[in-house]
Amino acid sequence: MNFVTAGFVPIDEDSSKSGPEPLSAPQEVHHAIRTLLRWTGDDPDREGLRDTPARVTRAWKEYCNGYEIDPATYLSRTFDEVGGYDEIVLLRDIPFQSHCEHHLAPITGTASIAYLPKDRVVGISKLARVLNGYARRLQVQERLTAQIADCIWNNLKPHGVAVIIKASHGCMTGRGVRTHGVTMMTSKMLGCFRDDPTSRREIMTLMQSQ
């Protein structure tokens, strides 16, 4: 896996394919934003818009700073001394923001992330960090859900992982079909939460109880 540190180029999970070179000069991005401003019909040189290309460049660097991070590194520090605890660990309703790769519109929602540890547990904040590491990229919700689950599965090697995401898509509210109040739900279950009906029922109850 390769990581881009100076641009907005998505990481291709298949490292055998090389993507375009990242943009290192913010000037190129400023120029693109100026073009967009002109294209809307406004004047990029009027006072209110003069600094907008620089602001938008900084903002998008922040929205997409997940490309600078391998979320797996958040899971490298684990604790194996947890006093015999061998039940589900669940972090529920973690708020996040991402952007859809089709329209660059915001995806706003919450994620619930759980795992059933085998030997190792991780500091609980790290689950939210893994979420943000993948959310702060251009995404579709299905891939975001799968990436979080796979990352925990591959790095903590637990008995099971469950991820449920509920989100609203700006591309469906602010434009296009303009359907407000709709939530998209996605889930990915691995290990016992996928294969064992009792574990699956237990995690679904915990994730959805009030």
Ligand X SMILES: Nc1nc2c(ncn2[C@@H]2O[C@H](COP(=O)(O)OP(=O)(O)OP(=O)(O)O)[C@@H](O)[C@H]2O)c(=O)[nH]1
Binding residues for Zn(2+), by number, are: 100, 103, 171
What binding mask, one character per residue, do residues 145-184 give for ligand X by CB under 6 A, x or -?
Answer: ------------------------x-xx---xx-------
d(CA 103, CA 170): 9
Chain residues 124-143 in contact with ligand X, contact rule CB under 6 A = 140-142
* DSSP-assigned beta bridge partners for residue 163: 113, 188
- Catalytic site includes residue 30: no
**What is the C-alpha R_g of the chain?**
20
Judged by beta carbon, residue 88 or residue 100, the one nearer Zn ion is: 100
Q: How far is CA 142 from CA 19, 46, 132, 135, 148, in A?
A: 22, 41, 15, 11, 10
The end-to-end CA distance of the chain, in Å, is 39
Strand partners, 58: none
Cβ atoms of 141 and 107 within 8 Å: the answer is: yes
At its nearest, how many Å lie between ligand X and the CB of residue 137?
A: 12
Catalytic residue, chosen from 68, 97, 159, 171, is 171
CA distance 146 to 148: 6
Indicate if 99 belongs to the active site.
no
31 counts as catalytic: no
Active-site residue among 141, 147, 151, 202?
Answer: 141
Residue pair 114/148 in contact (Cβ under 8 Å)? The answer is no
1 binds, among ligand X, Zn ion, none (CB under 5 to 8 A by kind): none
**Does 27 qualify as catalytic in the annotation?**
no
Q: Which does 141 bind (CB under 5 to 8 A by kind): ligand X, Zn ion, none?
A: ligand X
Active site residue 13: no
Positions marked catalytic: 100-103, 141, 169, 171
Residues at the site binding ligand X, with contacts judged by CB under 6 A? 100, 102, 140-142, 169, 171-172, 176-177
